[in-house]
């Protein structure tokens, strides 16, 4: 067994330098490592790229025996093992992709004490033979990677993670370290509970990325808005533009290229060779813009990405954080820019309603979307709201759009009542319409449709002429974000009231709204006149 303990008893920092070639630990790596080396449990919450792996790799080398790493990322195991081999660390894995020969080879090495690290797919622990194997060898520690997979609330739930509490029951003396990058306060608590990490020390790294400037603007003509942003602030910079659909990825890449901005498309529908060629050009060349679906970005480590732009609304705050987090890894000022509009909300709701999952799954997706909408519509500091989502308190940052030019908010109770009344009036006639038509009615427009349907007779016809069309669309969006108005995704995107709408109509609940900032395109159009 002595072979597995080459570094047993050595100081962690020596192992960091000799094996991994780094000079010092970062953030709270050292503390987490000390806890595990000393036999204690740890829960580590660190953003992607924060350096979670070392938190279990170093203790695995320092403690006698093999560090057993439970990870759902089966596809990455071979790469991880290869990378460790380059450093002289002896690692192996057990998962379903292996043939019998490879598996028994790994098992033999483990039992002979010749492995520093053993990666394990969670479903392996359902197999009694695996438990038996671990019993016969020496386990230095259990690392539970991507620990948020235990959360039924999260977006990555894996049923096999629920039974990981067996580790503690079966091996009460083996220290455990759970690690994740996606941890809201609720997930955090849930991880600790479900994995029975009651006495674990918690190490929470800051999720703040101070060099990233967060900006969320109302969507008007998104491609023109994007070109405007790139020309005025990011001329010649490398960046990523995220779009929801493959079609929109290609159209946007073409548009940018036509505007003289070098851009490449990336989505899962492209030929594998084209994809990897575009990816390596983006990494290698300067000043390229990658227009991509969210398929792009995992494991991409390009330090000088100066902006991440979203032309469509991300599905969750976690997704938004991960995607924008690809900007500014070098610590230099970078922009996270998102254009979002009413159609995004409608589209996302439709995606949720038509998704395959059960009701609970749809409720979760819906809650994720609501949190994202709240971030879009906040009149407070974006960063405060973003960090609060990850359970971190902070003060106004001075480096986001709402800090830099605080949006005016106003008492929107009356406009809200007008809009909701219009929906009620139509409903009383047994009719439901989409936002465009309802706004036409409020503005008193005699469009052919309004006239034909006799909607000029409605008492609400023309009562909203104090606001412009753009402002009304903003009211609709914000009422949706506040849960005061809903859209039916029945194919017609019709508006309907929610349970909370009644209180507004009865004057029992005031509504605060964010005044829309003037739009750059409109401003330019005016200046041109
Ligand atoms: P995570 O799993 O948290 O996303 P990784 O463990 O993959 O992050 O680490 C991200 C990168 O940072 C890796 O290239 C890793 O080698 C490097 N890294 C981690 N800790 C340190 C350190 N103390 N000093 C220098 N580089 C580090
Ligand atoms: Zn701010």
Closest ligand 1 atom number to CA of residue 47: 3
The sign of the dihedral angle between the CA atoms of 268, 270, 276, 282 is negative
Instruction: Report pLDDT digits (tens) over 471-490.
Output: 998 899 889 888 899 887 66
Give 353-405 as a 3 state SS string: HCCCCCHHHHHHHHHHHHHHHHHHHCCCCHHHHHHHHCCCCCCCCCCEHHHHC
Task: Kindly report the protein residue whose alpha carbon is nearest to atom 15 of ligand 1.
Answer: 51
Q: Is the pLDDT of residue 350 over 50?
A: yes
CA distance 256 to 263: 6
- ipTM of predicted complex: 0.97
Please indicate whether residue 73, judged by its CB atom, sits closer than 6 Å to ligand 1.
no
- Residue indicated by tokens 């949720």: 352
Q: Residue 437 pLDDT more than 60?
A: yes
Provide the pLDDT for residue 43.
Answer: 96
Q: How far away, in angstroms, is 26 Cα from ligand 1 center? A: 9
Segment 112-131 mean pLDDT? 94
Average pLDDT over residues 68-93: 92
The per-residue pLDDT for 248 is 96
Candidate of 16, 54, 143, 178 to mutate for ligand 1, largest count of ligand atoms within 8 Å of Cβ: 54
Asked whether the whole model's pTM tops 0.90, one would answer no
Q: Where are the alpha helices (DSSP H) in 195-261?
A: 222-233, 246-258
- Segment 426-450 shows an average pLDDT of 93
26 CB within 6 A, ligand 1: yes
Burial class (CB in 10 A: 0-12, 13-18, 19+), 286: exposed
Please give the average per-residue pLDDT across 14-43, as a whole number. Answer: 95
Residues 18 and 23: their CA atoms lie apart, in Å, by 9
- The mean pLDDT value of the chain amounts to 90
Q: Which helix (H) or strand (E) holds 138?
A: none
pLDDT for the residue numbered 422: 96
């Amino acid at each position: 067994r002595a072979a597995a303990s080459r570094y047993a008893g050595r100081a962690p920092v020596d192992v960091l330098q000799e094996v991994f070639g780094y000079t010092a630990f970062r953030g709270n790596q050292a503390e987490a490592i000390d806890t595990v080396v000393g036999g204690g449990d740890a829960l580590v919450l660190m953003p992607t790229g924060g350096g979670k792996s070392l938190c279990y790799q170093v203790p695995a080398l320092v403690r006698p025996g093999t560090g057993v790493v439970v990870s759902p990322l089966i596809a990455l195991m071979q790469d991880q093992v290869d990378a460790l081999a380059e450093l002289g660390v002896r690692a192996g894995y057990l998962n379903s992709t292996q043939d019998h020969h490879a598996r028994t080879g790994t098992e033999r090495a483990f039992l002979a004490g010749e492995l520093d690290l053993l990666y394990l797919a969670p479903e392996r622990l359902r197999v009694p033979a695996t438990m038996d194997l671990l019993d016969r060898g020496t386990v230095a520690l259990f690392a539970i990677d991507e620990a948020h997979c235990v959360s039924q609330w999260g977006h990555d739930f894996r049923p096999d993670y629920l039974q990981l509490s067996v580790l503690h029951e079966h091996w009460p003396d083996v220290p455990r370290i759970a690690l994740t990058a996606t941890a809201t306060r609720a997930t955090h608590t849930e991880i600790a509970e479900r994995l029975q990490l009651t006495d674990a020390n918690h190490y929470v790294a800051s999720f703040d990325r101070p060099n990233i400037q967060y900006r969320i603007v109302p969507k008007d003509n998104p491609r023109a808005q994007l070109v405007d942003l790139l020309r005025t602030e990011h001329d010649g910079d490398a960046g990523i533009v995220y779009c929801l659909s493959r079609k929109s990825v290609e159209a946007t890449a073409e548009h940018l290229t036509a505007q003289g901005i070098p851009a490449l498309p990336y989505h899962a529908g492209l030929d594998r060779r084209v994809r990897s060629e575009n990816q390596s050009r983006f990494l290698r060349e300067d000043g390229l813009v990658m227009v991509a679906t969210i398929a792009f970005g995992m494991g991409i480590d390009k330090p000088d990405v100066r902006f991440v732009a979203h032309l469509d609304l991300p599905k969750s705050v976690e997704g938004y954080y991960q995607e924008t987090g690809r900007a500014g890894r070098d610590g230099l000022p970078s922009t996270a820019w998102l254009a979002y509009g009413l159609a995004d909300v409608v589209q996302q709701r439709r995606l949720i309603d038509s998704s395959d999952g059960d009701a609970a799954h749809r409720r979760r997706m819906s809650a994720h979307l609501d949190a994202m909408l709240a971030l879009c519509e906040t009149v407070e500091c974006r960063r405060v709201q973003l960090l609060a989502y990850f359970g971190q308190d902070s003060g106004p940052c001075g480096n986001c759009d709402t800090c830099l030019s605080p949006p005016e908010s106003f008492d929107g109770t009356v406009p809200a009542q007008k809009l909701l009344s219009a929906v009620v009036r139509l409903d009383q006639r047994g009719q439901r319409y989409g936002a465009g038509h309802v706004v036409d009615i409020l503005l008193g427009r005699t469009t052919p449709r309004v006239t034909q349907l006799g909607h000029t007779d409605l008492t609400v016809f023309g009562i909203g002429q104090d606001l412009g069309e753009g402002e009304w669309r903003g009211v609709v969006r914000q009422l949706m974000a506040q849960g005061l108005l809903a859209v039916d995704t029945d194919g017609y995107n019709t508006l309907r009231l929610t349970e909370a709408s009644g209180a507004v109509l009865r004057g029992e609940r005031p509504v605060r709204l964010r005044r829309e900032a003037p739009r750059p395109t409109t401003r330019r159009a005016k200046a041109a006149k």
